[in-house]
């Protein structure tokens, strides 16, 4: 997993992955919790994540994220 920081109050979870042997045992949720704690101690107030619908149970139910609307621009579609 990677966590990006905007230099202000926002951090972003990216590429959450757990080795196959450790999946479905809570390791991913623990990684996200650790990332949240580290982001908080550095002064971030918000931790963001974008995810596909099939990962809702993990990010919302297991990790505690709140679904929110977000904007998206396809940079490939720009002239």
Give CA–CA dist 13/47, Å, rounded: 7
Q: What is the mean pLDDT of each run of 10 residues along the chain (79 residues)?
A: 94 95 94 96 95 95 94 86
Give CA–CA dist 51/58, Å, rounded: 10
Residue 77: what pLDDT? 87
Give CA–CA dist 36/44, Å, rounded: 9
Residue 47: what pLDDT? 97
| Mean of the per-residue pLDDT values of the chain | 94
Instruction: Give start and end residues of each alpha helix (H) in 1-79.
Output: 27-41, 56
Give 18-33 pLDDT, tens digit per residue.
999 999 999 999 999 9
Nearest to 49 by CA among 30, 37, 36: 36
Residue 79: what pLDDT? 84
Domain residue spans of the chain: 2-77
Which fold does the domain 2-77 belong to in CATH?
Aminopeptidase (3.40.630)
Q: Beta strands 46-49 and 2-5: pairing type?
A: unpaired
């Amino acid at each position: 997993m990677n966590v990006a920081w905007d230099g202000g109050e926002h951090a972003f979870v990216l590429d959450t992955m757990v080795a196959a042997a450790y999946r479905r045992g809570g390791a991913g949720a623990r990684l996200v919790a650790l990332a949240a704690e580290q982001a908080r101690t550095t002064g971030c107030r918000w931790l963001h994540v974008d995810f596909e619908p099939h990962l809702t149970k993990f990010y919302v139910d297991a990790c505690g994220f709140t679904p929110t609307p977000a904007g998206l621009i396809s940079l490939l579609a720009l002239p």
